[in-house]
Structure formats: C-alpha cells, structure tokens
Amino acid sequence: MSDESSTPNPVGHQPAPLQPEAAVLAEARQRSRRAFIGLGLAGLAGLGGWSWLISQPKESGVAGPLRRVLDANGRLSGAYFKETRLAPEFARSRARAPRINGKVGLKSELNPVTWRLRVQDFATGNTQEFTLDDIKALPKTSMTTELKCIEGWSIVVHWGGARLSDFLARYPLAARAGAAETLASYVGLRTPDDAYYVGLDMPSALHPQTLLCYEMNDQPLTAGHGAPLRLVTPLKYGTKHLKRIGTIAFSDTRPDDYWAEKGYDWDSGH
Amino acid sequence: MKQLIEKHSLAIRWFHWVNFPVLSLMIWSGLWIYWANDVYRLGWGDTTLFKFFPQSFYEAFNVPFQLAKGMAWHFVLMWVFFLNGVLYVGYTIFSGEWRYLLPNRHSFKEAIQVTLHDLGLRKGPLPVRKFNGAQQIAYTSVVLMGVGSVLTGLAIYKPTQFAWLTGLLGGYEFARILHFALTIGYVLFFIVHIAQVVRAGWNNFRAMVAGFEIVEVNPASQPLPAGPPPLPAADAPLSSN
C-alpha cells in the first residue's frame, strides 16, 4: 500500500484552489492501482510465508519454526516462573473423581509387593530403589487442586503424597557431582514398561505442589489412576501427571516426553 | 466536482489488513483446540438449541484431531495478534485518531438512529462524519474484545502463574467460556462488518486499501484546502450538516 503522507492542516490555513477533476481522478486511479497491487503482493507474501512454514521439516510432530516458538514460550514462562506462585486450592468438598483418560504405560500387570521406585543418582549414575513405605515415611502433603487436561476440561481433585522436593531433600540424588548444592536441570520420569515418559524442568519439580502422589480423594490410588505412585503437579497439564512411576532420572538436557513427541508443547506449563 | 479526501492513514490500513488473516487463523486454530473438549451449547436443561459445533461443521472445516497443531499455531500467532493490537491502540492514542473512534455521549442515541436507518425503518440522511455513533461503538467494542481475548487467553494459558487473573475472570472454566464467547463475538462482528462494507460501497472499501475517498464538492460554496481537510471531531453536534 502506498501513501502520500498526510500533513496536518494548520489552523488558519488559507483554502487552496480545488484540484481539476481530471487530475483528481488520475491521482485516484494511480493511488488505487498502487495500493491494490501492494495489498495483493502483501497477501501473496503472506501466503508464501505460510507455505514455507508448513513445508519446514517437522520437529517432534510440529513444523520446525512453530516448535522453536513453543520452546521460546517455554523459556519465557520459565524466566517468569516463581515457586511462590501456587495453583489455587479448593474446598475438599469440591473434589471429584477424574475420568481415566489414558492407559499408556499401564497395560502390563503390576505386582504392588515387588514394585520399587528406581531413582538414578545424577552424580554417580547408580540406581537406588525405594518402596512405597519409604515414600510414605516422608511428610505427607494434601491439597485440593484443579487437574487440567490439555484437551480443555478440568476437575477438582484431592491429592495426598510426598513433595518431590521433600524426597530430593531427604535423598539428594539430583545433586551434581562435586557440587552438591547445584541440581540437575531436568527430571525425567518413566513408567516401569517405558511406554510413557515425561520430563519436568527442575523448578517445577521442586515446586511445593509437585507431589509423588499415592492417594486420590483420600483413597489409595487405583490401578487406572496410577497405583502405587504417580506424579501430580498442578503446574502442568494432565499429560505430565505420569501414572505408575517406575524410574526417575536427572539430566541437563530435556528428557523425552511422550506427548511432546506427538506435537505438543514440551513445557506444557501453567 | 470530485475531490480526494484522506480517510485512513497507512498505519491504520496495515493494522487492519494484518489483523484480518491473523485473527482468522487464531479462530481456526482455536477451533482445533476447542474441538478436543467441545462442551458448549445454547439451551437449558436437556434442551439444546444449538451445539457448538455440529459434526457437519467440523468436517467442513477440517477440525477434528488437530489439538496439538492448533495449540502450536495458537501460541505462535498470539504474539502477532497481541503486538499488532498494541501497536494499533498505541497509534490511535499518539496520532489522536482515538477521537474519531471513541464513543461519546451522543454515540448511543446516534447508533440507534443508524441502526433504524440501516434496517430501512428511518428515513433521512446519516451524520456525515468519519465514523458514526454505531461505528464508534462497534470499533471500540471490538478493540475491547481483543483486550478481553488476550486477558482470558492468558488466564487459561498460565492459570497458576497468573492465578490472580484467572480468579478475577471467574476461574479457569469460566475464563475458557469467556474466551470462547469473545470468539463468537468476532464472528458476529465480521458478518455485520462485511454486510455494512458491501452496502457502503466501493468508495468506502477502497479507503481501507488506498487511504482516500472521492467526494463531491460544490466549488462555489465549499472551497477545500489542498491538504486533507480536518474531519469533524467525534463529539461534533449531529446536526452540523
């Protein structure tokens, strides 16, 4: 679009003579032609940009440029993140049982007696095993928060479990070799069969509302909801609430994430 | 005698034509997201007058099973929508064009007259101004709706980090309803807007592309300055012409 810059008309300016009509129409034709050609070219450029964008190689299920913006959004919300900002809590009476929305990672039989939580020490690489009683021996945290599914529905649920931060304080397995006060950047969790796996940034993992959860609505977890131990973090969509935790490991690179590989945002943070 | 009159500045035209495809794609990707939990309807109890949306609609617009793609597009284009809107509002403030756009105490009465006129229920000429009362209300409302979409969008995008905002907007689920309702509002705005642009004619439409309108002036009684004539202010009396 072209434009003659419009200069403001000073107060008291003497009216200039009218333009001859032929000159007016000629100018109108010329400006219209330029403007419509300009708009058309801008539209074509937009279409060109669009087809370039959707033709880019996919990164984890979504066109590369879109993925890079999603990751930049994640970094931006990471920079804004504060662990003092809490997900709202609700009256216990508002808690309901959520639907069972996914069974990936739960399809094999699980023996609750032989189940162990296996955690890999970031410093040494050795694996340490924990029983459910080890987790229950940590201070119990209860909260009534809203579980938000990435599909768009939400439901208030009452959760009980141990804070992941309490676990990592009691068992400093995320500490860096030779620098015990610094932690790995990420936590990766996987089901025992490795079929479902999620990654969390360390600030979200250490948030006071991120739980190794063993009770839902004051009852022990059922198999469909991730018995014996699941992750609950109202800082993320339900996709990150991994059921039936098998292993936990730490890393400085983003751990694999089941849904992020299928085109969803890796961060999925709230 | 025909003369050129400047109507829309280059900046305004750019904001307008950038917003059109961006908002369209925001609505489309929003549909991909909404489909994954399409629970809204018009009705009461067991009676549903209209379901958002019928299956045929989804199929016509290739909506189903595109949640991940919808979120990816939505969370990229939100930046363009937001920046374009901020620049537009900033421009109208600093250029002084807000004076033509903001409704005033005459606008509501005038909007009724314009509506009656457009429905063919009232004869007589409409006020000759850049934007009449109905336009002022419509264009200001749609900007406020844009602000509302950004705020309700933020409330459902980061409901923990912006928990105060989500709470202010009635909670996560209500903020999602508001976000959806605003989108329906854009579609209704679009339908009326297109109808009005069509009936206003080519001269008016060309102004949003090329910036000027051609007006008929009587050379004897209305000599025009060479520069663009100052348009009457938005609060000029209705009967000035």
Kindly report the average pLDDT of chain B as a whole number.
91
Q: Return the pLDDT at B227.
A: 53
Integer Cα distance of A146 and A154 in angstroms: 6
Burial pattern A206-235, b for ≥16 Cβ within 10 A else e, equals: bbebbbbbbbbeeeebeeebbbbbbbbbbb
Beta-carbon separation of A3 and B161 below 8 A: no
How far are the Cα atoms of A43, A87, A262, A266, B219 from residue A255, in angstroms, in the given order?
A: 41, 24, 14, 10, 76
Map tokens 């709202």 to a residue. A88
Residue B237: pLDDT band with limits 50, 70, 90 = low
Beta-carbon contacts of A123 under 8 Å, excluding residues fewer than 6 positions away, are A173, A175, A176, A177, A178, A180
Q: Is the pLDDT of residue A5 over 50?
A: no
B125 in a domain, yes or no? yes
For range A95-120, the mean pLDDT: 93
> Three-state DSSP class for B197?
helix
Which residues of B are less than 8 Å from A24 in CB distance? 2-4, 214
Which residues of B are less than 8 Å from A65 in CB distance? 76
Beta-carbon contacts of B159 under 8 Å, excluding residues fewer than 6 positions away, are A87, A146, A148, A270, B166, B172, B175
B212 in a domain, yes or no? yes
Beta-carbon separation of B69 and A263 below 8 A: yes
Q: Return the pLDDT at B125.
A: 78
CA distance A266 to chain B (A): 11
Burial classification of residue A79, based on how many CB atoms lie within 10 Å of its CB (0-12 exposed, 13-18 middle, 19 or more buried): exposed
Q: Return the pLDDT at B223.
A: 53
B224 in a domain, yes or no? no
> What phi and psi, each to the nearest 5 degrees, are found at residue B44?
-145, 150
- CA nearest B180 in A: which residue? A152
- Report the number of distinct structural domains present in chain B: 1
Which residues of A are less than 8 Å from B167 in CB distance? 88
CA distance B212 to chain A (A): 8
> What phi and psi, each to the nearest 5 degrees, are found at residue B204?
-70, -45
- Which two structure tokens, joined as six digits, stand for A145? 């928060």
CB pairs < 8 Å spanning A and B? 148
Return the closest-CA partner of residue B74 out of A69, A269, A47.
A69
The residue that leads in pLDDT, A3 or A211, is: A211
| Residue pLDDT, tens place only, A216-239 | 999 999 999 999 999 999 999 999
Residue B241: pLDDT band with limits 50, 70, 90 = very low
Q: Return the pLDDT at B229.
A: 55
CATH code for position B22: 1.20.950.20
Integer Cα distance of A97 and A218 in angstroms: 11
Percentage of residues in chain B with pLDDT exceeding 90?
Answer: 75
Beta-carbon separation of A3 and B211 below 8 A: yes
Kindly report the average pLDDT of chain A as a whole number.
92
- Please count the CA atoms within 13 angstroms of the CA of A118 that sit on its side-chain side: 12
Q: Is the pLDDT of residue A26 over 60?
A: yes
Residue of B2, B13, B227 lying closest to A1 (CB–CB):
B13
Q: Is the pLDDT of residue A9 over 70?
A: no
For range B59-68, the mean pLDDT: 94
- Please count the CA atoms within 13 angstroms of the CA of B139 that sit on its side-chain side: 21
| Residue pLDDT, tens place only, B165-194 | 999 999 999 999 999 999 999 999 999 999
Q: Return the pLDDT at A178.
A: 85
Q: Domain A58-262 maps to which CATH number in 3.40.50.1000, 3.90.1300.10, 3.90.420.10, 3.30.70.2660?
A: 3.90.420.10
Q: Return the pLDDT at A1.
A: 43
For range A179-207, the mean pLDDT: 95
Q: Return the pLDDT at B238.
A: 56
Residue A2: pLDDT band with limits 50, 70, 90 = very low
Residue B224: pLDDT band with limits 50, 70, 90 = low
Q: Return the pLDDT at A255.
A: 97
For range B151-175, the mean pLDDT: 97
Consecutive H or E run containing A107:
none
- Helix count (H) and strand count (E) of chain B? 9, 4
| Residue pLDDT, tens place only, B7-16 | 999 999 999 9
Residue of B17, B75, B229 lying closest to A9 (CB–CB):
B229
Return the closest-CA partner of residue B228 out of A34, A13, A35.
A13
Q: Return the pLDDT at A252.
A: 96
DSSP 8-state assignment for residue A129: E
The answer to whether B13 and B212 are in contact (CB under 8 A) is no
Integer Cα distance of B55 and B63 in angstroms: 9
For range A81-91, the mean pLDDT: 94
| Residue pLDDT, tens place only, A248-262 | 999 999 999 999 999
Q: Annotate A177-239 with DSSP letters as a single string.
A: TTEEEEE-SEEEEE-TTSSSEEEEEHHHHHSTT-EEEEEETTEEPPGGGTSS-EEE-TTB-GG
Residue of A3, A7, A82 lying closest to B227 (CB–CB):
A7
For range B101-129, the mean pLDDT: 86
Which residues of B are less than 8 Å from A13 in CB distance? 225, 227
Beta-carbon contacts of A63 under 8 Å, excluding residues fewer than 6 positions away, are A53, A54, A56, A57, B72
Residue A8: pLDDT band with limits 50, 70, 90 = very low
Q: Return the pLDDT at B218.
A: 81
| Residue pLDDT, tens place only, A139-148 | 999 999 999 9
Spell out the domain ranges in chain A.
23-55, 58-262
| Residue pLDDT, tens place only, B68-85 | 999 999 999 999 999 999
How far are the Cα atoms of B10, B88, B197, B210 from residue A28, in angstroms, in the given order?
A: 16, 26, 20, 9
Residue B122: pLDDT band with limits 50, 70, 90 = confident
Percentage of residues in chain B with pLDDT exceeding 70?
Answer: 91
Q: Is the pLDDT of residue A12 over 70?
A: no
Q: Return the pLDDT at A13.
A: 46
For range B47-54, the mean pLDDT: 94
ipTM: 0.89
Which range is least confidently modeled, A72-81, B89-98, B129-138, B216-225? B216-225
Looking only at the bridges linking them, the beta strands covering A117-120 and A247-251 are parallel
B231 in a domain, yes or no? no
Q: Return the pLDDT at B235.
A: 64
Which residues of B are less than 8 Å from A34 in CB distance? 210
User: Whole domain around residue B112: which residue ranges?
Assistant: 2-219
Which residues of B are less than 8 Å from A152 in CB distance? 33-34, 36-37, 176
